[in-house]
Structure 1
Amino acid sequence: MRKVRIMLAAALFIGIFLFSGTGDPVCAAELAETQEQSTAADTRPDYTIYVNRVLNCITIKQQNEDGSQTPVKAMVCSCGREGSETPEGIFRTSNYYTWRKMVDATYARYAVRFNGKILFHSVPYIEESPDTLEWEEYNKLGENASLGCVRLSVEDAKWIYDNCKQGTTVVVYSDTEETGELGKPTATKIEESSPNRGWDPTDARADNPWLGGKGLYTPFLGSMDEFDYIAYADQYPDLREAFGYDKEALYGHYIAHGINEGRIGKAL
Structure 2
Amino acid sequence: MKVQSRLVLVLALLSASSVLAVGFHQVFTAKQMENARARVKPVRPKSVTKVKTVAKKLDWHQPSMSQAYPKVQAHPNLQIEVSTVKQRVYLRENGKVLYTMLASTGRQGDETPKGQFQVQAERGLHFYNAESKEGANYWVSFKDHGIYLFHSVPVDASGKYVTTEAEQLGKVANSHGCVRLTIADAKWLYENIRQNTPVTVS
Task: Report TM bin, short chain.
Answer: 0.5 to 0.7
**What residue is the counterpart of 1:82 in the other structure?**
108
Residue 125 (str. 1) matches residue 155 (str. 2)? yes
Give the residue type in structure 1 aligned to 2:157. E
Do the aligned partners of 1:78 and 1:145 also contact (CA within 8 Å) in 2? yes
Q: Which amino acid in structure 2 is aligned with residue 109 of structure 1?
A: N
Q: What is the SS of the residue equivalent to 1:145?
A: coil
Cα distance change, pair 92–127 in 1 and its aligned pair in 2 (3 A):
same
Any stretches of 5+ residues in structure 2 without a counterpart?
1-71
The 8 Å contact of residues 121 and 150 in structure 1, kept in 2 or not, is answered as: yes
Q: Which residue of 2 aligns with 1:161?
A: 190
Separation in structure 2 between the aligned mates of residue 125 and residue 44 of structure 1, nearest angstrom: 33
Aligned in 2, Cα 1:140/1:98: closer, same or farther, shift over 3 Å? same
Structure-2 separation of matches of 1:128 and 1:155: 20
Q: TM-score of the superposition, structure 1-length normalised?
A: 0.44
Equivalent pair of 2:128/2:157 in contact (CA under 8 Å): no
Shift in alpha-carbon separation, 1:128–1:69, aligned structure 2, 3 A: farther
Structure 1 residue runs of 4 or more that deviate by more than 2 Å after TM superposition: 42-46
Pair 44,114 (structure 1): closer, same or farther in 2 beyond 3 Å: farther
How far off is 1:104 after superposition?
1.4
Between Structure 1 and Structure 2, the one with more strand by share is 2
Aligned-residue offset at 1:160: 1.3
Match of 2:118 in 1: 92
Aligned-partner Cα distance in 2 for 1:128–1:112: 21
- Answering whether residue 197 of structure 2 is matched by residue 171 of structure 1, we say no
Deviation, structure 1 residue 69: 4.2
Equivalent position to 1:53, from 79, 84, 93: 84
Letter in 2 for 1:104: S
- 8 Å CA contact retained: 1:48, 1:169: yes
Structure 2 SS opposite 1:165:
coil
Structure 1 equivalent of residue 169 of structure 2: 141
Length-normalised TM-score, structure 2: 0.57
Distance in 2 (CA, whole Å) between partners of 1:167 and 1:44 is: 16
Q: Which amino acid letter does the alignment assign opposite residue 92 of structure 1?
A: Q
Distance 1:128 1:152 in 2: 20
Deviation at 1:171, TM superposition (A): 0.3
Q: Percent identity?
A: 34
Q: Per chain length, whose mean CA-contact separation is higher, i.e. which structure has more relative contact order (CA < 8 Å, sep 6+)?
A: 2
Q: Distance in 2 between matches of 1:70 and 1:55?
A: 17
Contact 1:87–1:148 (CA under 8 A) maintained in structure 2: yes
Question: What secondary structure does 2:164 align onto?
Answer: helix
Match of 1:225 in 2: none
Number of residues of Structure 1 aligned to a counterpart in Structure 2? 125
CA deviation map 1:16-43 (0-9, x unaligned): xxxxxxxxxxxxxxxxxxxxxxxxxx96
Contact 1:44 1:165 in 2 (8 A): no
Mapped to 2, the partners of 1:165 and 1:77 lie a distance apart of 20
Q: Deviations over 1:93-137 (max 9, x none)?
A: 1111111223513221110110111100011111363xx110000
